[in-house]
Amino acid sequence: MTAPQTNKRAAAKNLLAVRITLVEELGDALDAHSKAVAAAAQARQHAEKTTDAAPAAFEAAKASGWTTGELNSTGLHAPAAPRWRPATRYSVPTNTQGICGAHNRR
């Protein structure tokens, strides 16, 4: 192989190496994202379970003779209803005329 061919081959290999590195980084980022989404879903499920269990446990303590005042004085307060609501993936558009409204002109 001649020197110009060797240089071209080396340049091509370098270009491919850069592209492969970018694809590997993309794959790593997608894997990290899917793991984070799964962890968030698991955390939401855990929060929902504990949200349901806490009021029942508080009521069971009261049913066994504890008063709300006694429980509060020990730092155990009645759990409040969750203030958050599940996030939606897509928001509903509020502008029904499009970005500039130009398509609605007559």
Residue 17, judged by CB atoms within 10 A of its CB (0-12, 13-18, 19+), counts as: exposed
The pTM of this model reads 0.48
Q: What is the mean pLDDT of residues 16-29?
A: 95
For residue range 73-85, what is the model confidence (pLDDT) as tens digits?
999 988 876 666 6
In the chain, where the domains are located: 3-77
Whether the predicted pLDDT of 64 surpasses 50: yes
